[in-house]
Amino acid sequence: MWTYRAPLRDMQFVIFELLPVAADWSRTGAFAQLDAGTVMEILHGAARFASERLLPLNASGDAQGCHFEAGSVRTPAGFAAAYREFCEAGWPALACDPEAGGQGLPQLVNAALYEMLNAANHAWTMYPGLAHGAYECLRAFASEPLKREYLGRIVDGTWLATMCLTEPQAGSDLSKVATRAEAQHDGSYLITGSKIFISGGEQDLTPNIVHMLLARLPDSPPGTRGLSLFLVPKLECAAGGFRRNAVYCDAIEKKLGIRGSATCLMRFEGARGWLIGEPHRGLAAMFVMMNAARLHVGLQGLGHGEAAFQNALRYALERVQGARPIAEHAAVRRTLLTLRAFTEGQRALAYWCAHLLDVAQAHPDAGERARAADLAALLTPVVKSFLTENGYGCASAALQVWGGYGYLREYGIEQCLRDSRIALIYEGTNEIQSLDLLTRKVLGEGGNARLDALLQLLLAEASAAKDVGLVPFAETLATLLAQLRQATRALRTDASEDPELPQRVAGDYTRLLGLLMLGGLWARAARLAARHDRTDPFYRSKADTAQFYFDYLLPEASWRLRLIESGRRPLPHLSAPAAGRGRR
Amino acid sequence: MWTYRAPLRDMQFVIFELLPVAADWSRTGAFAQLDAGTVMEILHGAARFASERLLPLNASGDAQGCHFEAGSVRTPAGFAAAYREFCEAGWPALACDPEAGGQGLPQLVNAALYEMLNAANHAWTMYPGLAHGAYECLRAFASEPLKREYLGRIVDGTWLATMCLTEPQAGSDLSKVATRAEAQHDGSYLITGSKIFISGGEQDLTPNIVHMLLARLPDSPPGTRGLSLFLVPKLECAAGGFRRNAVYCDAIEKKLGIRGSATCLMRFEGARGWLIGEPHRGLAAMFVMMNAARLHVGLQGLGHGEAAFQNALRYALERVQGARPIAEHAAVRRTLLTLRAFTEGQRALAYWCAHLLDVAQAHPDAGERARAADLAALLTPVVKSFLTENGYGCASAALQVWGGYGYLREYGIEQCLRDSRIALIYEGTNEIQSLDLLTRKVLGEGGNARLDALLQLLLAEASAAKDVGLVPFAETLATLLAQLRQATRALRTDASEDPELPQRVAGDYTRLLGLLMLGGLWARAARLAARHDRTDPFYRSKADTAQFYFDYLLPEASWRLRLIESGRRPLPHLSAPAAGRGRR
């Protein structure tokens, strides 16, 4: 039986001991009154919802999938009812501004909520998953009349939102977006074009669906600088009620996983839409939504890793082979520790990123806000790609613990593997995240200072570890950080002569940075654990897992440094196989 | 569109240039007359069968799956007809002894055949996949009357075979096998018990199914030394025809992949069977079948890697993003080169292993036969685990090349990913292969000499590379081989004080050995390519891919050495999460 129990004790540890957030919150107006008891009560409620309402729909939703008929989508049994409960409990409003009808809690709490939702039922969570990003985007860029009409209904969950970027001919290359927008006399626009891979483009959870869509105005310059952002509702407000807009779902995709989530092919046939933000500045506005989405995709990887770990641990403790539970076997133990070390470390990293967004939003000091925003910008592509790669890797490693049973549908881990795979692809493939990280965030404008801010924090962690006697951790971390600095300097220098170099090694660089951040966070966890007696199983596990991370997982960093060095070698080009009997 | 075209040019290169086999064949009686033209004609025929008959059934077989009703299994449409053609063309008899009705070709040619079958349609290939192992097992251990009755029909494909090992309570631990066998007065046995995960335990391709089954005699000692091997047919020969034996299929499994292959839950209710080999020596006899099966599972990984590479390359050359085919993008190019370097290197390794089995069987010199058999025993667990891990890894890396399309069913790569995942599990999980390699083949009896024989060959390769000016390859390889030797010595010494040590690092050791063998084979390929002009695209690709392998893939070996060093650190034990609200 696949189960899920939210790791509330670890969430509490990360939020209130490891990061810890209290000092930052106390400086803000918005969160100054928030205490740990309140936050943990909220997370307990979320844990109950995830385990009791969403988990039971996870396997059945996968088995049933979505059904498409005559333009309509039927989601799996129970999805709509669970969504109603989700709204009635106020979860969509959790981290929205009280002025807009929200509960005004930090992004960090919303991140913990979404970790649990994703861990329990990734496919279901796809539906509300983009609402918060749409809320932030509308709040920042929409006109007052649009805000009045849409914002409240998105905050309370009455309507759901989508992101309409990708087109058949475009893929990851948004400069090829061809959907057109024509201005009308009443200030609206008529939108014409096709969009693919639209999660929740059509569904039966909400009466209306708010599409956030990139399109091109007639006078637009070519490329991504010519894109404008539009709000295109399924139902538009009209005199005396709502009118069906010319937005059509033509098909839904058959997929490897997240089968309960409707991935739609959408057609806009002169559908009425409204401009969000400035003409030709749509991508900048959409990035607000995309950055929120990228953190949330990272939380999917985290959720899958956690679910895989919990279930594999339980199975390994129950399953006896050769007179011992298989959890005792060395190979299985190493797998389980890998899952624990990555998952708990990644929780700290993801929550840190979410907390930085809160500081960037709510800190009274403008300099602190800017610093936090800049660090969050550096962390986001790592959180998206490192956590999803490891989430999928953990699911596959966990599957192996079940042996042959892992390959069967009834044990649940094969669904976890299938569902987790999408997160490496959407919201910008992991390859694109890595390019963003290395070529833009690190080697691009302001990159030196941005990276340095991170490295200073990690070095301070190494130094603090040394002070409490964790000398090997401190030395390993300091050495690797110096090597990272050196490697970055070399990349910066050599890229001027060999502009492709960063592209060849961006994936290694991303993993390297992810591994070092987890190294810093595990060093900190070990330092906190050292204050506690080893008879306390929670802190003993933290100390042991930190040691395991430094022994067995962090060595990957040296390999990645080596590969970054190898990347100076040009990569040969590949051509089509020759005709004839052989391949070449 | 998912396609497959057999890599015949590369097969020819491996068999007749890289290994090359001609000198060994010329010394044998059996293969002395075999020439390259004949072998390539045969492989061309196999390639046609794979591409024209099996490939078109791959996606449809996955979509339809197998149907179970009232004890019978219906395989996907077209499977049975393709199997009839397969038999009519004589493929099952390819590598069987002419005395038994076979065509007397080398195992190596059969390995190439199975690479193609697996690449085109893994699920279909599961049905004939165990026949050759059953043939070898029966030929070595069955009584003459049994051979007369069964061998010819297995050789010509009239009947198919299964391996019945696993039981619900046993899993990987065969010492727990509880199926009972009771001797009857007529020399037969009545078999009672349940077996799970029986591929092709029931099917509609052949009228009879020959189950090779491990069971326990009443007087058997406990553990694996008490297992005996039995032949249990679905239909038993009786006066005047065939009689249905008490062998029942109770269910088939719903699986992540290879859905066209029926994975059966089998019940033996006093079914009549016959002893194969000595009582209580069943595992030794079964190992003949299992070793053949392990090489064939490695070929599944190879086939999946090849299919993933071909299709990803074609897609990447066709798909344009940002004005260039994505095959030009550095990250995609690196992925494609990784797929090529692993797949072509692994073809060389798998075929080498198959060729060693031929030498072990057919060489006139007993010493040569023994040396080849010993080396094949060392290679087999690496072939099984390294090739399947990389086959699955290549499928996942390839999927990323398609971006969002890769996640959709219609592009084929997601099926490749699902199908390839099983190979890490069955025929002994990869963890068990690694333990076999390190604790038995390397650190066990005769391990020093066995490993040394391999290392001498690889050192000779390094030395030959140096002679033709490939100095960096030679030095890298020689350094790593010395480090491997040193690490092995340390493991041998330290294991006496810390017996769990080899179990903690067996997985790393297996990858290390696999990486070094591919290093030796790529050095050899580069040496052969150096004789050709760089205008020849085939040899230029070999030279470039060898360079890529040494630059970008072989560095993993240093990381593995480092992890073997880390393995001295004990692994903490994990316990069940504490009750209460949190996880612990």
Fill in the amino acid letter for A432.
Answer: I
Which of B424, B583, B584 is closest, CB to CB, to A400?
B424
Could you tell me if residue B361 is left (phi over 0), alpha (psi between -120 and 50 degrees) or otherwise beta? alpha
Q: Which residue of B has its CA nearest to A324?
A: B173
Whether residue A408 contacts residue B255, with contact meaning beta carbons closer than 8 Å, is answered with yes
Query: Which of these, A294, A292, A282, lies nearest to A141 by C-alpha position?
Result: A282
Q: What are the tokens at B329?
A: 């993008």
Instruction: For B63-128, give the DSSP string.
Output: HH--EEETTEEEPPTTHHHHHHHHHHTTGGGTTS-GGGT-----HHHHHHHHHHHHHH-HHHHHHH
Give the per-residue pLDDT at B322: 77
Residue A219's alpha-carbon distances to A164, A182, A225, A227, A276, in angstroms, are 21, 10, 12, 11, 17
Instruction: Note whether B172 contacts A583, CB cutoff 8 Å.
Output: no
Whether residue A234 contacts residue A268, with contact meaning beta carbons closer than 8 Å, is answered with no
List Cβ neighbours of B57 (8 Å cut-off, separation of 6 or more).
Answer: B76, B77, B78, B79, B82, B121, B124, B260
What does the alpha-carbon distance between residue B414 and residue B2 come to, in Å, rounded to a whole number? 11
Looking at the complex, does the CB of residue A558 fall below 8 Å from at least one CB of chain B? yes
Instruction: For A526-564, give the DSSP string.
Output: HHHHTTS-TTSHHHHHHHHHHHHIIIIITTHHHHHHHHH
Q: What are the tokens at B159?
A: 């009947």
Looking at the complex, does the CB of residue B180 fall below 8 Å from at least one CB of chain A? no
Query: Which of these, B87, B251, B247, lies nearest to B158 by C-alpha position?
Result: B87
Chain A positions touching B175 (Cβ under 8 A) are 322
Which of 332-361 (B) contact A at CB < 8 A? 332-334, 336-337, 340
From the list A410, A427, A475, A565, the catalytic residue is A427
From the list B167, B389, B427, B461, the catalytic residue is B427
Distance from CA of B143 to the nearest CA of A (A): 33
What does the alpha-carbon distance between residue A211 and residue A204 come to, in Å, rounded to a whole number? 15
- Higher-confidence residue of B175 and B319: namely B319
Give the per-residue pLDDT at B581: 44
Distance from CA of A489 to the nearest CA of B (A): 21
List Cβ neighbours of A109 (8 Å cut-off, separation of 6 or more).
Answer: A39, A42, A43, A94, A95
Does residue A545 have a pLDDT over 60? yes
| Phi and psi torsions of B253, nearest 5° | -90, 150
β-bridge partners, B247: B268
Give the per-residue pLDDT at A374: 95
Looking at the complex, does the CB of residue A63 fall below 8 Å from at least one CB of chain B? no
Looking at the complex, does the CB of residue A406 fall below 8 Å from at least one CB of chain B? yes
Give the per-residue pLDDT at A285: 86
Instruction: Quote the pTM value.
Output: 0.97
Does residue A4 have a pLDDT over 60? yes
The alpha-helical segments, DSSP class H, found in B428-470 are: 430-435, 447-467
Q: What are the tokens at A449?
A: 């200072």
- Tell me the pLDDT tens digit for each residue of B23-34: 999 999 899 999
What does the alpha-carbon distance between residue B525 and residue A169 come to, in Å, rounded to a whole number? 40
Which of 240-269 (B) contact A at CB < 8 A? 253-257
Number of H helices, E strands in chain A: 20, 13
Looking at the complex, does the CB of residue A536 fall below 8 Å from at least one CB of chain B? no
Q: Which residue of A has its CA nearest to B5?
A: A583
Instruction: Note whether B254 contacts A410, CB cutoff 8 Å.
Output: yes
Does residue A567 have a pLDDT over 80? yes
Which of 292-321 (A) contact B at CB < 8 A? 310, 313-314, 316-317, 319, 321
3-state secondary structure of B241: strand
Does residue A242 have a pLDDT over 60? yes
Distance from chain centroid for Cα B37: 27
Within 10 A of A72 (CB to CB), how many other CB atoms are there? 11
Distance from CA of A220 to the nearest CA of B (A): 18
- Higher-confidence residue of B581 and A238: namely A238
Within 10 A of B204 (CB to CB), how many other CB atoms are there? 15
- Tell me the pLDDT tens digit for each residue of A390-446: 999 999 999 999 999 999 999 999 999 999 999 999 999 999 999 999 999 999 999
Within 10 A of B221 (CB to CB), how many other CB atoms are there? 11
| Phi and psi torsions of A91, nearest 5° | -60, -35
Which of B322, B541, B583 is closest, CB to CB, to A173?
B322
Q: What kind and span of H or E run contains B285?
A: helix B282-318
Half-sphere exposure of residue B421, counting CA atoms within 13 Å on the CB side?
Answer: 29
Query: Which of these, A413, A382, A384, A390, lies nearest to A400 by C-alpha position?
Result: A413
- Tell me the pLDDT tens digit for each residue of A101-130: 999 999 999 999 999 999 999 999 999 999
Give the per-residue pLDDT at A579: 53
Chain A positions touching B573 (Cβ under 8 A) are 327-328, 333
Q: What is the share, in percent, of chain A residues with pLDDT greater than 90?
A: 91
Fill in the amino acid letter for A508.
Answer: D
Q: What is the DSSP letter of B255?
A: B
Give the per-residue pLDDT at A24: 95
Q: What is the DSSP letter of A35?
A: -
Q: What are the tokens at A48?
A: 């109950």
- Tell me the pLDDT tens digit for each residue of A338-377: 999 999 999 999 999 999 999 999 999 999 999 999 999 9
Mean per-residue pLDDT over chain A, rounded:
95
Which of 483-522 (B) contact A at CB < 8 A? 500, 503-504, 506-507
What does the alpha-carbon distance between residue A348 and residue A517 come to, in Å, rounded to a whole number? 10
Chain B positions touching A571 (Cβ under 8 A) are 330, 333-334, 337, 548
Chain B positions touching A36 (Cβ under 8 A) are none
What does the alpha-carbon distance between residue B504 and residue B496 come to, in Å, rounded to a whole number? 14
Instruction: For A430-485, give the DSSP string.
Output: HHHHHHIIIIIIISSTTHHHHHHHHHHHHHHHHHHHHHTT-HHHHHHHHHHHHHHH
Instruction: For A406-417, give the DSSP string.
Output: GGBGGGSHHHHH
Distance from CA of A314 to the nearest CA of B (A): 7
What does the alpha-carbon distance between residue A554 and residue A480 come to, in Å, rounded to a whole number? 10
Give the per-residue pLDDT at B176: 84
Which of 151-170 (B) contact A at CB < 8 A? 166
Which of 563-582 (B) contact A at CB < 8 A? 563, 566, 569, 571-578, 581-582
- Tell me the pLDDT tens digit for each residue of B357-383: 999 999 999 999 999 999 999 999 999
Whether residue A337 contacts residue B574, with contact meaning beta carbons closer than 8 Å, is answered with yes
Instruction: Note whether B317 contacts A548, CB cutoff 8 Å.
Output: no
Residue A240 banded pLDDT, cuts 50, 70, 90: confident
Pick from B256, B432, B538 the residue to mutate for testing the A interface (most A CBs within 10 Å). B256
Distance from CA of A413 to the nearest CA of B (A): 10
Distance from CA of B341 to the nearest CA of A (A): 12
What does the alpha-carbon distance between residue B429 and residue B85 come to, in Å, rounded to a whole number? 33
Query: Which of these, B367, B392, B341, B400, lies nearest to B519 by C-alpha position?
Result: B341
Does residue A578 have a pLDDT over 90? no
Within 10 A of A437 (CB to CB), how many other CB atoms are there? 29
- Tell me the pLDDT tens digit for each residue of B137-172: 999 999 999 999 999 999 999 999 999 999 987 767
Residue B584 banded pLDDT, cuts 50, 70, 90: very low
Which of B172, B197, B330 is closest, CB to CB, to A503?
B330
Whether residue A549 contacts residue A341, with contact meaning beta carbons closer than 8 Å, is answered with yes
Question: Is B427 one of the catalytic residues?
Answer: yes
Q: Which residue of B has its CA nearest to A557?
A: B559
Spell A24-57 as b/e; 16+ CB within 10 A means b: bbeebebbeebeeeebbebbeebbebbbebbbeb
Q: Where are the beta strands (DSSP E) in A261-419?
A: 263-276, 320-321, 324-325
Instruction: Note whether A425 contacts B555, CB cutoff 8 Å.
Output: no
Chain B positions touching A332 (Cβ under 8 A) are 431
Could you tell me if residue A554 is left (phi over 0), alpha (psi between -120 and 50 degrees) or otherwise beta? alpha
Residue B50's alpha-carbon distances to B75, B257, B414, in angstroms, are 18, 19, 20
Chain B positions touching A257 (Cβ under 8 A) are 407
Chain A positions touching B36 (Cβ under 8 A) are none
| Phi and psi torsions of B447, nearest 5° | -65, -40
Query: Which of these, A385, A390, A371, lies nearest to A295 by C-alpha position?
Result: A385
Does residue A297 have a pLDDT over 50? yes
What does the alpha-carbon distance between residue A122 and residue A108 come to, in Å, rounded to a whole number? 19
Query: Which of these, B487, B494, B481, lies nearest to B520 by C-alpha position?
Result: B481
Instruction: Note whether A321 contacts B171, CB cutoff 8 Å.
Output: yes
What does the alpha-carbon distance between residue B204 and residue A199 come to, in Å, rounded to a whole number? 41
Give the per-residue pLDDT at A584: 36
Q: What kind and span of H or E run contains B372?
A: helix B366-401
What is the interface pTM, i.e. ipTM, of the complex? 0.96
The alpha-helical segments, DSSP class H, found in A142-208 are: 144-146, 152-155
Does residue B583 have a pLDDT over 60? no
| Phi and psi torsions of A164, nearest 5° | -110, 95
3-state secondary structure of B218: coil
- Tell me the pLDDT tens digit for each residue of A83-96: 999 999 999 999 99
Which of 117-136 (B) contact A at CB < 8 A? none
List Cβ neighbours of A148 (8 Å cut-off, separation of 6 or more).
Answer: none
What does the alpha-carbon distance between residue B419 and residue B256 come to, in Å, rounded to a whole number? 7
Query: Which of these, A200, A122, A165, lies nearest to A415 by C-alpha position?
Result: A122
Does residue B115 have a pLDDT over 90? yes
